[in-house]
Every structure is written in structure tokens, then in C-alpha cells.
Amino acid sequence: MQIYGETFDSRLMLGTARYPSPDILRQAIAASGAKIVTVSLRREAAGERAGQAFWDIIREAGVSVLPNTAGCHSVREAVTTAEMAREVFGTTLIKLEVIGDADTLQPDLFGLVEATQILSSEGFQVLAYTTEDLVAADRLVEAGCRVLMPWGSPIGSARGLNNVYGLRAMRARFPDLTLIVDAGIGVPSHASQAMELGYDGVLLSSAVALAGDPVKMAEAFRLAVAAGRLGYEADPLLPRDMAEPSTPVLGQALLGGAVLS
């Protein structure tokens, strides 16, 4: 998976919040095979034991950190949070979220484009949390974004891919852009479906953190993402309206001992 010119071995990205314990978080990261984990600025408690313990886990896991602007509801808040995150985490990568609706946590597409323009001009490498709206996607690319992260469904809903047509259309519109399905993934089959559509990766958090066994679920998602990508690369059989026999008719035995020639 290519993220602003850097290659990562895993196509699965993992959130780090709401795990039952630091040890389970550590095990889940290892089981997932993820090379990038997301973290909000609020997660980093500078100078406190909790913050230090979190950073110990990240260092031991050997993964890259992708800070995000989770919970920001305005352009100013998102930009300020991103600027602070750059100082704290030492990276220009930022997963940009500008939330427009408190109930669905749907992105504010107008604010997202504006924030992308500002941050891109400041040297940030933006990964934009967006919808499958193609017009907004065009504007984000024009603003300098090179990684789009459309939602599958609302954050934490576990509903999977609500608009497969829209996601497929986005993949077709931007064949050379890195596209990552973010939000709404609930079970491994959802992740596999996203990969079968040709997406470059999947980001998930609650589906693992809140599972009965987060470590097993992390491994399940690792396998699902790999299987989905292999299925996409294998050029799968497309759906058809009529039946087609899988066994050849030519050479089929007939009653009376005759054989078709």
C-alpha cells in the first residue's frame, strides 16, 4: 500500500482506542499485521504515565503512527489540531476529519475541502475522511489530497458497505489514487468486500477493539484483507443474469451408451 510515496507491507490500518487493556492492544496490533495505527491528539497524555505506556506499546510494535483530527467539527479546530499533532507526533501525515453531523458523524465536505487546502499549503500530507461523493473527491484532489478515505457506513455502525455502487464508481474515477475504506466496517467479510472492489486498504477500530476477543478478530481481519486483495488481483468472475453450466456438455454420456462427439 502506497501512502504519499512510502510503501507499507500491510493493507490493514488499525485504530488504538477503546481496547480493554494495553496488553490486549499490543496483542491485537501484532495479530492484525498492521503497519500503521491511528491515534488522536487527545490520546497522547504528555508527561503522564498513561501517555508513556501508550508510546511504549507503539515503539514495541514497530508501527507508524497516523495522527487524526477525530472529533473536530470546524475547519479551525481541525487545522489547529493537525498543527499540534505535527509537533507532538513528528509527522506531516494527518488523517483529516471535519465532522458535519453529530448523529451520523458524516463529514462536512465543504469544511473538509477548505481544511485540506490550508493544510496542504502548510506542507501536510492529508488523508481525508470523506464520503463516496465524487464531486467532493474531485475538490479534495484539487486541494492537494492524495489519499481519500471514503466511509463504508457511519462510524461505529458496523453496517459494512452501504453504497457499493458509489465506492465502485470512486475506484473507477481515481484508478491511480490511494483509496482506503474507513468507518462502518463490522466483520471481516466487510473488509474483504472492500478489497474485492479494488481498494488499497481498510481502516477499522471498533470492530476489533469492542469484539469479544479483539486479538482473534484482529487476526480474522488480517486474513480477510489479504483474501480480498488476492481475489481482486485474480480478476474474479462477474455476476450474470443467466445460469451457465460449470461442467462442459461436450463429451457428456448419453443414454444407450452413445457419447457426444
Residue 120: pLDDT over 70: yes
What confidence score (pLDDT) does residue 150 get? 97
Pair type for strands 2-3 and 6-7: antiparallel
What confidence score (pLDDT) does residue 50 get? 53
Taking the CA of residue 192 as centre, how many other CA atoms within 13 Å lie in the half-sphere pointing to its CB? 13
95 as an active site residue: the answer is yes
What confidence score (pLDDT) does residue 123 get? 96
Q: Over the stretch 65-111, which tens digit does the pLDDT of each residue have? A: 999 999 899 999 999 999 999 998 899 999 999 999 888 889 999 99
Numbered residues of the known binding site: 156, 183-184, 205-206
Closest residue by Cα to residue 193 from 155, 153, 154, 156 = 153
| Secondary structure, 3-state, 196-254 | HCCCCEEEECHHHHCCCCHHHHHHHHHHHHHHHHHHHHCCCCCCCCCCCCCCCCCCCEC
Cα–Cα distance measured from residue 6 to residue 127, given in angstroms and rounded to the nearest whole number: 14
Domains of the chain listed by start with CATH number: 11-232 (3.20.20.70)
Cα–Cα distance measured from residue 164 to residue 40, given in angstroms and rounded to the nearest whole number: 29
The region that residue 85 occupies, defined by phi over 0 for left and psi between -120 and 50 for alpha, beta otherwise, is: alpha
In the set 95, 139, 171, 190, the catalytic residue is 95
CB 32 within 8 A of CB 211: no
Integer angstrom CA distances of residue 177 from 27, 172, 247: 32, 10, 40
Binning pLDDT at 50, 70 and 90, where does residue 256 land?
A: low
CB 64 within 8 A of CB 39: no
| Section 227-238 average pLDDT | 92
242 or 109, greater pLDDT: 109
Q: Over the stretch 177-197, which tens digit does the pLDDT of each residue have? A: 999 999 999 999 999 999 999
| Section 162-191 average pLDDT | 96
Q: What count of residues does the chain have?
A: 261
9 or 59, greater pLDDT: 9
Cα–Cα distance measured from residue 4 to residue 146, given in angstroms and rounded to the nearest whole number: 7
Most confident of 15-19, 37-41, 133-137: 133-137
Residue 257: pLDDT over 60: no
What confidence score (pLDDT) does residue 250 get? 66
User: The whole model's pTM is what?
Assistant: 0.88
Q: How many CB atoms lie within 10 A of CB 128?
A: 29
Numbered residues of the known binding site for 1-deoxy-D-xylulose 5-phosphate: 156, 183-184, 205-206
Average pLDDT of the chain to the nearest whole number: 90
Integer angstrom CA distances of residue 119 from 25, 65, 170, 255: 31, 18, 23, 75
CB 223 within 8 A of CB 192: no
Residue 258: pLDDT over 70: no
